[in-house]
Amino acid sequence: MKKILLLGDIHANYPAFNAVVQQFRPDRFDFIINTGDFTVYSTFPNETIKWFRQRRKTICILGNTDRRILRILKGKKLRRPKKKEKRVMYFWTSENLLPDNIEYLKSLPTQADLSLGAIQIGVFHGTFDDADETLFPHDAEGRFIELANDSPYHIHIMGHSHVPYHKIVDGVHFINPGSVGRMFDGDPRASFAILEVSSERISVKHFRIPYRVEEVVKSLKECHLPDIYSEMFQTGQKLN
C-alpha cells in the first residue's frame, strides 16, 4: 500500500500549508503530490516553494499563476488577468521571489506522472489535454468519459477548480484535493486529500483543517496589498 498526500492551489498561503504538514507529517507518506499554483494571492511564496525545494519524494507541477509569474520574469507582457487588484498580486510576487525559488519554478513541468506497479497516475493542473481547463464535479459526464478514454492513466489528480472531489468514470479515478490556500465555498479552512493505492484498492479521503488566517491578513496589510484578498481569505469566498 502506497500513501500519497495530495495538495494543490496553495497560492502562497504558507500558514495554511504549514498547518497541513504539521498535522499530517510528511514522513508518513510515500509521495507528496502538488498540482501547482504555488504562487500569487498571498505573501508567502518563498516559504512555500522553499519547503518543496528542500524535500524528496515530491511531485510538483506548474499552475497557471506560476506560469504567469515566469512570463513576467522573462519580461513578457501579462495579458491576463485584467483586473487591477489581481495584477497587483502578480507583480508583487514577481518582485519578491528569491532567485533559488525562481530557478525551482523554472525546473518544473506542466504535468507529471507516477507509476505504482500497474497503476498509472497523471498529475495535471487543469486536465490531461488542457492545463487551463477548469473541471468541476458537476460538469458533463461526457467530458470525464472523453478524458478517461483518451489518457493512459488510471488516476487523474487535478487542481485549478479549488473544488474537492473524487469521481470514478469508466473505471478511471478523477481526484481534486481542493485548495490548500484559497477555498471558494465559504469555508476558509485548508483543503487536501490522502490517496492510498495498492494492487487491490484505490481509496481517497478529503480533509479540511483550520489555520491562522489572521497571519495572512496581517501580512497582506503590512505589504499594502488590496483589502479584498484579506476578506477572501477570512470568508473562504471568491469575490473578484
| pLDDT tens-digit map of 119-133 | 999 999 999 999 999
pLDDT at 82: 85
Q: Is residue 161 part of a domain?
A: no
Does 159 map to a domain? Answer: no
Domain assignment of residue 152, yes or no: no
Q: What is the pLDDT of residue 147?
A: 96
pLDDT in tens, 189-236: 999 999 999 988 999 999 999 999 999 999 999 999 999 999 999 999
pLDDT score, position 223: 97
With respect to residue 139, please indicate whether it lies within any of the assigned structural domains. Answer: no
Domain of residue 81, residue span: 2-111+178-235
Give how far the C-alpha of residue 217 lies from the chain's centroid of Cα atoms, to the nearest Å.
20
pLDDT of residue 28: 93
pLDDT value for 240: 84
Find, among 72, 216, 62, the residue nearest to 126 by Cα: 62
Question: Is 16 within the bounds of a domain?
Answer: yes
Assigned C-alpha cell, 34: 502538488
**Domain tally for the chain?**
1
For 61-97, write each residue's pLDDT tens digit.
999 999 999 999 999 988 888 889 999 999 999 999 9
CATH number, domain at 79? 3.60.21.10
Q: Over the stretch 184-193, which tens digit does the pLDDT of each residue have?
A: 999 999 999 9
| DSSP per position, 74-131 | TT----S--SHHHHHHHHHHHHH--HHHHHHHHH--SEEEEEETTEEEEEESSBTTBT
- Burial of 34 per CB tally in 10 Å (0-12, 13-18, 19+): buried
pLDDT at position 182: 96
The average pLDDT across 130-156 equals 96
- CA–CA separation, 214 vs 151, rounded Å? 42
Output the pTM of the full model. Answer: 0.96
What pLDDT does 200 receive? Answer: 85
What confidence tier does 142 reach under pLDDT thresholds 50, 70, 90?
very high
